[in-house]
Structure 1
Amino acid sequence: MITFILSICILILAYFTYGKFVEKMFGIQKERETPAVKLRDDVDYIPLSPWRIFLIQFLNIAGLGPIFGAIAGAMFGPVAFLWIVLGSIFAGAVHDFLSGMLSLRHDGLSISEVIGIYLGTNIKHVMRIFTVVLLIFVGTVFLMGPAKIIDGMTGNAWGVWIWVSIILIYYVLSTLMPVDKIISKLYPIFGVAMLLMAVGLLVALLFGNYHIPELTPGNLVNMTVNPDETPIFPILFVTIACGAISGFHATQSPLMARCMKNETLGRKVFYGTMITEGIVALIWAAAAMSFFDSVNGLNLAMVANNNNAAWVANEISLNMLGRLGGVLALLGIVAAPITSGDTAFRSARLILGDISKLSQLKIINRLYLSIPIFVVAFVLTQIDFSIIWRYFAWSNQTLATVVLWTCTAFLIHKDKPYLVSGIPAIFMTMVCSTYILIAPEGFNLDNHIAYTGGFIITIIITYLFKIYMKKKQLS
């Protein structure tokens, strides 16, 4: 329990200390006109109240990540607490703040365009394709997943495809309609529900008969069923993504960068929501470790239920929160992925809009860009692409790595303390390169070979980045 409480306190303290340092380092310009004011079109660029922006951003970046990812990460044991805390403070929140503020400074540009500004045209073209494909995959999975869950909850009364159609209609509307018509109305409700669920679990953990394992030198080990097949490094650092660092966040931040009235909101909206998500992930990880009496109990339960984190989340909610938990679980397990799916499609439209320079003021132009996206997504629902989806976790962290290198390039360009993002960039480069070498969906190499290969790749990428920055500074 001490480790758990201390972890939450450290995250909160970090917002007021390290978050303040990062904000000061970036250099907030209070009087600078934001895109919401300068480019207001009442579609994507529209000023929203700070509390709405916070809740929308929180739900945008959260979804099911801090729930399912934290549950899966809890299978490794208390070491998960360490990654959530350190990852959120020094990697995730830095990533979210700097990428969000860079979008804000560049008229709300999508992350692929921001990457191009600081890492060059070639990288920009690659990341345009990479991010659009990633977002379509996210939207498609969050189209089928909730439809199957709702169909099961309703006793297969209507059938999966009826629910797919209903969710798809919502996705189309939320992608096309002005941000203040649907998203700003529904997201705060779901965001509050998700936070209430987390607070309820926190109260149950603190005052219930639950034993949360402590992080000690003795249990700083891999507690999964097959430690050799799932080594802590790099598997844990990819398993817990949204609760520590996630590239998906960088695709979502431009949505709110186009709605902020003042740069002073940056720390609350970007750094603050990541810290909040880290706290939510801590709560779910602690609940998963303690609900089944031990980490071993969690592992056995997950194995018995085909590693179904949704089942674990539902069991925890119903048993620890009662009837209210059932309602909140429905919102969390069904609404959360839907609210990630709709903004994934909306972000894809915005990226295509930035690429084509096509004005989004007229709905016909939004249709031109959105129809192909939804056609591709619908086609993908007809295909079993579960193998392809296994690459999402790696792709998500790879995007986060590229964004961190982008932030580092910006800090070097501005002669600011670039190690703030440079160290996390190097670390995540090692994580991603080692993961693709060691994972079954990757090259499935021996652990020692994968570690050596990951280290070499990291050295090469770091060296190439250094050479690129020298050339850019000389030009």
Structure 2
Amino acid sequence: MITFFAAIALLCAGYFVYAKWIERIFGADASKPTPAVTMTDGVDYVPMPWWRIFLIQFLNIAGLGPIFGAVAGAMWGPVAFLWIVLGSLFAGGVHDYFSGMLSVKHNGQSITEISGHYLGNSIKQFMRGFSVVLMIMVGAVFIMGPAKILDDLTGQAMGITVWVWAIFIYYILSTVLPIDKVIGKIYPVFGIALLFMAFGISVAMVWQGLPVPELTIASFQNLHSSPESFPVFPMLFVTIACGAISGFHATQSPLMARCLTNEKQGRSIFYGAMVTEGVVALIWAAIGMSFYNGVDGLNEVMNANRGNAAFVVNEIANSLLGKIGGLLALLGVVAAPITSGDTAFRSARLIVADFLKVKQGPLVNRLLICAPLFVIGFMLTLIDFAVIWRYFAWTNQTLATVVLWTITAYLLKEGKQYWVSLVPAVFMTAVVTSYLLVAPEGFSLPKGISYAAGIIMALLLLAATLVTAARRKNAVMEVVN
């Protein structure tokens, strides 16, 4: 378990060291009033204590991501530990912190509008449509899964349609009501429960001495049961999104940017929630590999259940934690996705309201925006869940990549150390480009062509950024001289 504990220690150290460095680069100012204070509206701009915001942010960005994604990612072996640590600290943490703090800087605006400030109007228009589509997809995929489970638990007495409508009604309430009325009250409870579930699993794993594989040179070979169809690059970096880096987080951070009362809270809320999610992902990746006596065992079980991570999670929780585990497993596979779906629709409402410049104080304005969003979301529930999820995975990481380039443009414009976002932006550009070309749901091209295209795209954007940086530096020097 040396690798497992070392990975957790690195994540914690990164929060206390690297996150402070990121905060210093941004220049968080405790004396500067935040949008929650200057623009309080009782609906979305609502001041709340930092610990409550942290738990809401954690549950917002987590959902099933650091559980299901980590278990699926563990099929590649201990190399998953490396991606979770490096991804969380140098990609996800930077992505989440700046997307939240830039929203604070721009009066709580959505990431779509922020992208327009730094990447131009054409990117803003693209991001508006892209982000809304992503949010509706998230809401849709997190309806059918929980509805089917609830239907099975009740012996199919009520029918899956009843559960779909029940979840939809909850979504409507949580989307249009003030953020402190529903989300602000139940999210902290579910957030604590999700953390307790991860803690209980980790204690049981250590107590029973389950063999967690170590990261060695041999771990860098592809341990997946289908290495040709699922190469480590780029598949692993899209499979483990929440728990490393996820574009969905950038749509959620502005929700909390409208609630924090001190810029210094940003490090614990945005970067801290990402690191916490990384710890949860490490725990589930470790237990996934150890519970079935190794990576091969996990692959066998996952393949036998058609890649259904819910089966693995349920079996592990019930076996290690007994009745309490069963209860927490139910929370993990039902409540967690629902609490991601509701904030997805809420984010979609705010994104649309931002670009239409519609005030969200009046209830009727919120309902008018939400109505078409929910209609489209319901229509998506009629499509095969697996199909929507595959396209969501790529869309999600593409959004994260665009946000990293937005952050880089901001840091360049401000004359700050842009490399902290440039490096992960270049890497993720190679990932999403290669994935689109090589994946079955993409163009299914040979790996060689896909990798080459991904690297070329990443290098072109890197070169363009460095040229822009050089020009800015020369312009500054000319002014000084």
Q: Which residue of 1 aligns with 2:82?
A: 82
1:353-388: CA deviation from partner (whole Å, max 9, x where unpaired): 101111100101101111111111112223346434
The alpha carbon displacement at 1:459 in A equals 2.1
Q: Is the 2:112–2:351 contact (alpha carbons within 8 Å) kept by the matching residues of 1? A: yes
| Separation (CA, whole Å) in 1 of partners of 2:382 and 2:221 | 42
1:327 is aligned to 2:323: no
Q: In structure 1, what is the Cα distance between the partners aligned to 2:471 and 2:110?
A: 25
Task: Give 3-state SS (helix, strand or coil) of 1:75's partner.
Answer: helix
Q: Provide Cα deviations, 1:385-412, integer angstroms capped at 9, x if missing partner.
A: 6434311111111100000001111111
What is the CA–CA distance in structure 1 between the aligned matches of 2:337 and 2:304, rounded to whole Å?
Answer: 24
Question: Which AA in structure 1 matches 2:82?
Answer: L
2:400 corresponding residue in structure 1:
400
Counterpart Cα distance in 1 of 2:3 and 2:385: 40
- Map residues 55-74 of structure 1 onto 2, 5 A cutoff: 55-74=55-74
Taking the aligned partners of 1:143 and 1:469, their CA distance within structure 2 comes to 45
Q: Do the aligned partners of 1:84 and 1:282 also contact (CA within 8 Å) in 2?
A: yes
* 1:329-375 alpha-carbon deviations (Å, 9 max, x no partner): 11111000000000000000000110111110010110111111111
1:407 and 1:237 map into 2 onto residues whose CA distance is: 20
The runs of 5 or more residues in structure 2 that have no matched partner are: 477-481
Mapped contact 1:135–1:344 kept (Cα < 8 A):
yes
Q: Partner of 2:126 in structure 1?
A: 126
Q: How does 1:42-441 map to 2 (within 5 A)?
A: 42-384=42-384, 386-441=386-441
Q: Secondary structure at the match of 1:383?
A: coil
Matches of 1:218 and 1:367, distance apart in 2? 55
Distance 2:323 2:462 in 1: 52
Amino acid of the structure 2 residue aligned with 1:60: N
CA distance in 2: counterparts of 1:368 and 1:228, whole angstroms: 48
Return the letter of the residue paired with 1:102: L
1:350 aligns to what SS in structure 2?
Answer: helix
**Contact 1:150-1:163 within 8 A present in 2 as well:** yes
Contact 2:353/2:369 (CA < 8 Å) preserved in 1?
Answer: yes
SS at match of 2:76: coil
Task: Tell me the TM-score normalized by structure 2.
Answer: 0.96
Cα distance 1:295–1:384, how it changes in 2: closer, same or farther (>3 A)? closer
Is the 2:48–2:259 contact (alpha carbons within 8 Å) kept by the matching residues of 1?
A: yes
- How many residues align? The count is 475
Query: In 1, are the aligned partners of 2:144 and 2:385 still within 8 Å (CA)?
Result: no
Q: Deviations 1:140-175 (Å, cap 9, x if unpaired)?
A: 111111101111121111110000011100000000
Contact 1:409 1:469 in 2 (8 A): no
TM-superposed deviation, 1:462? 3.0
More deviation, 379-388/154-163: 379-388
Q: Deviations over 1:197-221 (max 9, x none)?
A: 0000111111113000000112222
- The RMSD of aligned alpha carbons is 1.5
> Structure 1: which amino acid aligns with 2:162?
I
Task: Point out the more displaced range, 460-469 or 112-121.
Answer: 460-469
Correspondence for 2:479 = none
2:451 match: secondary structure: helix
Identity of aligned residues (%): 59
Q: C-alpha distance in 2, partners of 1:323/1:12?
A: 31
In the superposition, relative to structure 1, how do residues 415 and 217 fare at CA in structure 2: closer, same or farther (>3 Å)? same
Counterparts of 1:265 and 1:297 in 2: how far apart (Å)? 43
Deviations 1:224-252 (A, max 9, x none): 11112111111100110001000000000
Cα drift, residue 468 of structure 1: 6.4
* 8 Å Cα contact 2:84/2:282 also seen in 1: yes
Paired letter, 2:181:
K
Structure 1 contact 353–360 (Cα < 8 Å) conserved: yes
Q: Judge conservation of contact 2:137–2:388 (CA < 8 Å) in 1.
A: no
* Distance in 2, Cα, partners of 1:358 & 1:266: 27
- Structure 1, unmatched stretches of 5+, are none
One-letter amino acid of the counterpart of residue 36, structure 1: A
Amino acid corresponding to residue 255 of structure 1 in structure 2: L
After TM superposition, the structure 1 stretch with the greater mean CA deviation from structure 2, 324-333 or 388-397, is 388-397
Instruction: From the superposition, tell whether residues 376 and 105 of structure 1 become closer, same or farther in structure 2 (CA, over 3 Å).
Output: same
Given the two structures, how large is their TM-score scaled by the length of structure 1? 0.98
Bigger shift: residues 455-464 or 421-430 = 455-464
- Tell me the secondary structure at the aligned position of residue 443 of structure 2: coil
Question: Greater shift after overlay, 68-77 or 218-227?
Answer: 218-227
Could you tell me how far 1:467 is from its partner in structure 2? 5.8
Q: Secondary structure at the match of 1:112?
A: helix
Which letter maps to 2:304? A
SS of the equivalent of 1:227 reads coil
Query: 24-33 or 74-83: which moved more?
Result: 24-33
Instruction: Provide the C-alpha distance between the structure 2 equivalents of 1:359 and 1:24, rounded to a whole number of angstroms.
Output: 34
Amino acid at match of 1:422: L
Structure 1 counterpart of 2:311, one-letter code: W
